[in-house]
Amino acid sequence: MFVFEKKQAEKALAITVSGFMKPDEAEAFLKEYNEHINSINPAEYTLIIDSTNLAVSKQDMLPVLEGCFKLYMSNGFKKIMMVNPSSVVAKNQMQKLAETIAYTGIFVDTLEEAYSHN
């Protein structure tokens, strides 16, 4: 599941992702993501991804997650803040993936921390 929220005052695009991401949900996510990107100037915004309740990804979904990380970086956001999953396994999975693609986002442990870096 995912929820998008454009926070005009903070100049932030906040995305909450949770649970297991399935292929059909990934397609819907990308469609909505692109709609939001087209409505803002990413260079003026911080992207905040709250993955606190994201579950461990299945192996076949890792390329999708990798693609999302690359997409975030390609959009030219002022900053990318990623809130770590509360699951240690999911957190390790995301951070290992981030290392393999030289992900430029900043990992933090809480949503409050993400907003304080904005």
CATH architecture of the domain with residue range 2-24+43-116:
2-Layer Sandwich (3.30)
Q: What is the pTM of this model?
A: 0.93
**In the chain, where are the structural domains located?**
2-24+43-116
**81: β partners:** 48, 106
pLDDT digits (tens, 9 = 90+) for 52-62: 999 988 888 88
Q: What is the pLDDT of residue 62?
A: 87
Residues whose CB is less than 8 angstroms from the CB of residue 72 and which lie 6 or more positions away in sequence, other chains included: 47, 49, 80, 105
User: In the predicted model, what is the mean pLDDT of the chain?
Assistant: 93
Contact 37, 75 (CB under 8 A): yes
Q: What is the pLDDT of residue 81?
A: 97
Q: What is the pLDDT of residue 114?
A: 95
